[in-house]
Structure 1
Amino acid sequence: MTVIGVFALQGNVREHLAMLTDVGVEARPVRRPSELEQVDALVLPGGESTTMDKLARAFELFEPLQKRIADGMPVFGTCAGMIMLANEITGGIEGQETLGGLDVTVRRNAFGRQVDSFEADLDFPGLGPGFGTPYHAVFIRAPWVERVGRDVEVLSTVSSGPATGRIVAVRHDRLLATSFHPEMTGDARLHGYFAELVRGL
């Protein structure tokens, strides 16, 4: 069976584990390098990207994660997880580093502070008939993508309000990232899409 881990040092770990189980994969929390070695793919959840960076280093996960990503491990980054995957960030704190691999520039906290959190219905026109109805997304202190590399596919943008046109979901080969929290809505379509991506390798 396909085994997908969830970076379990911060964020909505339990919710991601439940979503992955719902789409038919074995889901495991990952806190140590030995646990990372046992999974086929990984979810980087939302949380605080600077804290995730520090915790990954404290638990000696940062470099093993970078290596697995560079070697082609599929990763699904959500909110802070998107920031952790980005090759470049703006609005970060001094010295903040990312795992990299995703050829984008992401603006941290782009949509504003916690009080500026919002929900929106998003279209995913390139993901097939399973995404024929809008995906209800929850944005909390969310980033957005300001630049995409040549090989990065834009999956969804905000379609209304002051942030219209902002990129909030991308895919670059085996890396998938969203600005929002797909684990908070009860809609497992994106987790299912990621699971199929991993199974197809």
Structure 2
Amino acid sequence: MTAQPVVGVLALQGDVREHAAALTECDVRVQPVRRAEELDGVHGIVLPGGESTTMSRLLETFDLLQPLKARIADGLPAYGSCAGMIMLASKVLDGRPDQHQLDGIDMIVRRNAFGRQVDSFEEDLEFTGIDGGPMHAVFIRAPWVESVSPEVEVLATVPDTETAGAAAGRIVAVRQRSVLATAFHPELTGDKRVHRLFTEIVRAS
């Protein structure tokens, strides 16, 4: 892709502005997405952190659920942080019965795993595919990944440290083809490396 790509940010709920600011620093145009027709002009989309059941309900209310699911199935690059990771999963544990999934990554995610265990949590992670040393990750009532299919690449796990507790060894960043997800919030730390990785995926698609 030679022209400046347009990356949408699902703007129904959650930390939309933080993602938009991070993406802007990665030399892409940012498009808030609230209606199905706004999906037509984007080359990738970010699903922000927030509350996954609320986001799921709003996707249906705004008639975005099926169009977004179809675009992702057709290869639209997508990145989800925290609640966005939950939305992209094929299956969620501890979710609401009426919660909808976008099936972007073949994985099982446990909703609010960090919420029950440690509420909020910070750790330095080794992140495959990102240079520059460990990434400081902030988890806020976050999910973790229980399991992935062989098609999913695990990019980061929580190291076994004194403070990790039940989170030690849990998968917290994954990629399947052009879909990326993290359990943590890089948009809140000022570290743009995950957003840069995603914009590289968008440019290569």
Q: Distance in 1 between matches of 2:194 and 2:53?
A: 25
Q: Which residue of 1 aligns with 2:148?
A: 148
Q: Which amino acid aligns with 2:140?
A: I
Deviation at 1:115, TM superposition (A): 6.9
Partners of 1:156 and 1:49 in 2: CA distance = 22
| Partners of 2:157 and 2:172 within 8 A in 1 | yes
1:70 aligns with 2:73: yes
Distance between the aligned counterparts of 2:98 and 2:36, measured in 1? Answer: 24
Equivalent residue of 1:64, what SS? helix
Partner Cα separation in structure 1 for residue 35 and residue 154 of structure 2: 32
1:114–1:140 contact (8 Å) kept in structure 2: no
Partner-residue secondary structure (3-state), 2:49: coil
- Counterpart selection for 1:175 from 179, 185, 189: 179
Q: Which residue of 23, 33, 38 corresponds with 1:35?
A: 38
CA deviation after TM superposition for structure 1 residue 28, in Å: 1.2
Amino acid of the structure 1 residue aligned with 2:182: T
Deviations along 1:58-103, one digit per CA (max 9) or x if unpaired, are: 1111110011011110000110000100001101112222111210
1:104 corresponds to: 107
| CA deviation string 1:143-188 (max 9, x = no partner) | 0000101110000000022111000000000100000111000000
C-alpha distance in 2 between matches for 1:181 and 1:93: 23
Give the equivalent residue in structure 2 for 1:13. Answer: 16
Q: What amino acid sits opposite 1:168 in the alignment?
A: V
After the TM superposition, which segments of 4 or more aligned residues of structure 1 sit over 4 Å from their partners? none
Structure 1 residues not aligned, in runs of 5+: none
SS of the residue corresponding to residue 136 of structure 1 reads strand
SS of corresponding position for 2:54: helix
Root mean square deviation of aligned Cα: 1.3
SS at match of 2:19: helix
Amino acid paired to 1:157: T
Give the TM-score, by structure 2 length: 0.94
Check if 1:90 corresponds to 2:93: yes
Q: Is contact 1:157-1:166 (8 Å) kept? A: yes
* Counterpart secondary structure, 2:181: strand
Specify which of 46, 49, 61 is matched with residue 46 of structure 1.
Answer: 49
Residue 30 of structure 2: SS of its match in structure 1?
A: strand
- The residue number in structure 2 matching 1:198 is 202
Give the alignment's TM-score, normalised by structure 1.
0.95
- Cα distance in 1 for residues equivalent to 2:65 and 2:129: 31
Could you give the per-residue CA deviations for residues 11-64 of structure 1, whole angstroms, max 9, x where no partner exists?
110010000000111111100111111100000001111000110111111110
Please state whether the residue corresponding to 2:12 is helix, strand or coil.
coil
The structural deviation recorded for 1:113 is: 4.6
The percent of aligned pairs where both chains have the same amino acid is 60
